[in-house]
Structure 1
Amino acid sequence: MKRCFAQSVLACAMIMGLAGCTSTPPAAVTSDTGKTNSGKPPITKFKAYTQRFSGETLLTQSHATGHVGNVFFTHWKDGGEASLKLDEQGNFTINWIGGNYNYVGGPGWEHGDKNRVIGYHLNEDSGASYVTLYGWGYNKEMDHQDPAHLVEYYIIQRWVRTPAQGGEQGITFVSNGVEYTTYRTVRKEKPSINNTATFYQYWSKPKEQMPLGVDHKIIFADHAKAWEQNGWKLPDLNNFDASDDPTYQVFAVEVFLVEKSGTASGRVWDASK
């Protein structure tokens, strides 16, 4: 389910200014006109992504994207009450009240990487629809009538709603000791990182839900390989070609049509090295 972050944040920025669209202290908004702490040039195409916060940051507004330190985040909801608290070490807490709306948010990276290994430790999950690695791939050179030019992917870790309903089942494989089954679904003329589009969703669902309270690794290359064995190739994971968002990759908590309020908390890090 695509949430079109950049357009919404820009609209908010036009009305209130970026500072007015961000959270209250202890977060601080700093200028991002020079190089970032990592030495990489700043992102300039998508104005929403130039927001940079320092220290523990609480986000309660409807739409926000940016970085806390060097940790990228997304935070989006179409109603209701949900918040994301994030610090520069990737520690996060997401709270939601009720669930008759759609929320998605969490920490990660502003682009995907097939060789990335994602480490995470989940302390708490009191009923999110999905806890998942989530992201996009996009190839502007492909025929846009072909759903394969744009892919939204999910590597599910925990769930209360059955993912990939009605989808095409692919292979079953083992990654890092966990058995996953692959699925593919199609979204027709739905919001995406590149306007309204028809695109594929690729899914990996584990046989059993991942337990709380222990460290886990998601070896992204294993999932990309499994999808490709089905003939489901990922387009470019590291570009700024789309109209609304870059091809980000985040460890996301998604809430929609759940029965009760809840919390998910933990930490995310790059375990590639």
Structure 2
Amino acid sequence: MVSFSFLLVAAASLVPGALAAPGEQLEHGSTTSSRDIQAANYFSNWSEGGSNVRCNRGSGGSYSVTWSGQGGFVCGTGYNPGGSRTVKYSGSYNATGPGYLAWYGWTRNPLIEYYIIESYDILAPGEPWTKKGSFTFEEGTYDLYTSTRNNKPSIEGTRTFQQYWSVRTEHRVGGTITTGRHFTEWANVGLRLGNHDYAILATEGFVNGTKTSAGTANINVE
């Protein structure tokens, strides 16, 4: 499982209607992110370990990515801060190997990394998952899990922290994600979040043992 911190690259002075500096691909293991001040869209692009990844931000909340190789990556668009939102998205996602299409974010105090997984080929979690239940509502049925990352990179440096997971039982690419409903269901089984940092509709790929990831995605977040 890939965890990482972000560097927000902003214009020297930001005024209403101005844009932050655009995101760009850096060397493996580095990250750049940008925020559209008008639309509050947030773009992140990170890769490591020899991945052959091309992630490009489009207009508005759109991005496209192609990938293959031996490393890991996460890229996507969303909001900073995240929090309870009704997220509408559309597009295409075609992947083989370990990875996800997911609404992905972080909180602080407590430090939590969370996923609402919409589609995948192989889940292949990096740490053991503990199932906490499941729930069904008008958007679908999701299984709930938690896991723990020990001394791993995070948005607060190397830390030990929990991960929360909602995993959709029927895959989809496109629709509405009511994030607050997932937060409530997590709280109902004792999984409480902190203060929201960024959250993105992310495409992620990584290596698990001999299994590598490859694919393409074109996603738009409204």
Both structures adopt the same fold (TM-score exceeding 0.5): yes
- Residue 122 of structure 1, CA deviation: 2.2
- Residue 67 of structure 1, CA deviation: 2.7
> Which structure 2 residues correspond to residues 1-273 of structure 1 after superposition, within 5 A?
1-6=2-7, 31-37=11-17, 51-53=20-22, 59-62=24-27, 63-67=31-35, 70=39, 71-78=41-48, 79-96=50-67, 98-114=68-84, 116-127=85-96, 129-139=99-109, 149-162=110-123, 164=125, 166-210=128-172, 212=173, 215-237=174-196, 247-257=197-207, 259=212, 261-269=214-222
Q: Contact 1:129–1:160 at 8 Å: present in 2 too?
A: yes
Q: Contact 1:107–1:251 at 8 Å: present in 2 too?
A: yes
Q: In the alignment, residue 33 of structure 2 is paired with which amino acid?
A: T
- Residue 185 of structure 1, CA deviation: 0.4
Identify if the C-alpha distance between structure 1 residues 188 and 262 changes in structure 2 by more than 3 Å, giving closer, same or farther.
same
Q: Contact 1:76–1:104 at 8 Å: present in 2 too?
A: yes
Q: Contact 1:189–1:198 at 8 Å: present in 2 too?
A: yes
SS of match in other structure, 2:81 = coil
Identify if the C-alpha distance between structure 1 residues 216 and 190 changes in structure 2 by more than 3 Å, giving closer, same or farther.
same
Q: In the alignment, residue 34 of structure 2 is paired with which amino acid?
A: G
Identify if the C-alpha distance between structure 1 residues 253 and 183 changes in structure 2 by more than 3 Å, giving closer, same or farther.
same
- Residue 188 of structure 1, CA deviation: 1.0
Q: Contact 1:176–1:219 at 8 Å: present in 2 too?
A: no
**TM-score between the two structures when normalised by the length of structure 1:** 0.70
Q: How many pairs does the alignment contain? A: 210
**Which consecutive residues of structure 2, in runs of 5 or more, have no partner in the other structure?**
none
- Residue 76 of structure 1, CA deviation: 0.4
Q: In the alignment, residue 26 of structure 2 is paired with which amino acid?
A: Q
The 4+ residue runs of structure 1 with deviation greater than 4 A are none
Q: Deviations over 1:234-254 (max 9, x none)?
A: 1111xxxxxxxxx11001110
- Residue 68 of structure 1, CA deviation: 5.0
**TM-score between the two structures when normalised by the length of structure 2:** 0.85
**CA distance in 1 between partners of 2:42 and 2:200 (Å):** 8
- Residue 183 of structure 1, CA deviation: 0.3
Identify if the C-alpha distance between structure 1 residues 260 and 173 changes in structure 2 by more than 3 Å, giving closer, same or farther.
closer
Identify if the C-alpha distance between structure 1 residues 2 and 159 changes in structure 2 by more than 3 Å, giving closer, same or farther.
same
**CA distance in 1 between partners of 2:108 and 2:34 (Å):** 20
- Residue 204 of structure 1, CA deviation: 0.2
**Which consecutive residues of structure 1, in runs of 5 or more, have no partner in the other structure?**
10-17, 19-29, 39-49, 140-148, 238-246
- Residue 159 of structure 1, CA deviation: 1.2
SS of match in other structure, 1:52 = coil
Residue in 2 aligned with 1:42? none
Q: Contact 2:117–2:168 at 8 Å: present in 1 too?
A: yes
- Residue 52 of structure 1, CA deviation: 2.1
Identify if the C-alpha distance between structure 1 residues 32 and 117 changes in structure 2 by more than 3 Å, giving closer, same or farther.
farther
CA RMSD of aligned residues (A): 2.3
Q: In the alignment, residue 43 of structure 2 is paired with which amino acid?
A: F
